[in-house]
Amino acid sequence: MSKISPLAIIEDGSVIGDNVEIGPYCFVSSQATIGDGTTIAQGSCIYGKTTIGKNNRIFSHAVIGSIPQDLKFDGEDVELIIGDNNTIREFTLFNPGTKGGGGKTIIGSHNLFMGYVHLGHDVIIGNHCILANAATLAGHVEMGDYAVIGGMTPVHQFVHIGDYAMVGGASALAQDVPPFCMAEGNRASLRGLNLTGLRRKLKREDIDELKSAYRELFETGKPLKENAANILENTQNHYVHDLCDFVLKTKRGIPFERKNI
């Protein structure tokens, strides 16, 4: 049985699952779907065509699904999709997609979005990510699984951040961060592997393989994509494969200090 405050505004047509809690002064649009076990604290607003999965915790004054901050948006049919077991803290702002970006913003499961986090239009977030306070993602940013963004860090539109990557707090990221790597600074550049995060999830021999590949890619001064293709052809480690494949496919480039041969 759901607990909905009589002071909340729930529009006709919304779909509310079992054991949902909605606090006072919340708003839920007619197009919204709220999954079982989700809690929405006082003053939060769920706008537009927003689908929220099971067991999410949405804290007070979050704004979820309001129209994109894109001047080209003209009322198209767009949506925001959120998975299960996410924690969405106070004063966060999540926008749906746009026609130019496929029409969907998609958020996975088991993520932590701390206070004042902004996710722009057409963003794609994987699973088990952490975005610290006031991290801001512009439109079309993509993040893999287990990625971390430190507080007060803006991310430029169309940037890709790979699995297990970390971006330090108070950075400004304008280029792609490969999986397993750590970047920081303004403008952010690679500082090495995200060893702390990797040691929690990967075997030592896989980390050693990644260390060797990282040195070869970013510390030898050889042409980056040519080097990545050569490593990819010769490795049998799937983590190294993912790292090199990301480098080959990057469109915004990799921010690292290039050394002279």
Which one of 53, 97, 118, 122 is the catalytic residue? 122
> Is 121 labeled as catalytic in the residue annotation?
yes
Which one of 126, 139, 144, 168 is the catalytic residue? 139
Q: Are strands 166-167 and 160-161 parallel, antiparallel or unpaired?
A: unpaired
* Backbone angles phi and psi of 49, in degrees to 5: -85, 85
Distance CA 103, CA 119 (A): 14
Q: Are 48 and 67 in contact, with CB atoms under 8 Å apart?
A: yes
> Is 122 labeled as catalytic in the residue annotation?
yes
> Is 36 labeled as catalytic in the residue annotation?
no
From the number of C-beta atoms within 10 Å of its C-beta (0-12, 13-18, 19+), residue 117 rates as buried
Which one of 61, 118, 121, 140 is the catalytic residue? 121
Give first-to-last CA distance, the chain, whole Å.
Answer: 67
Q: Which residues are catalytic?
A: 121-122, 139
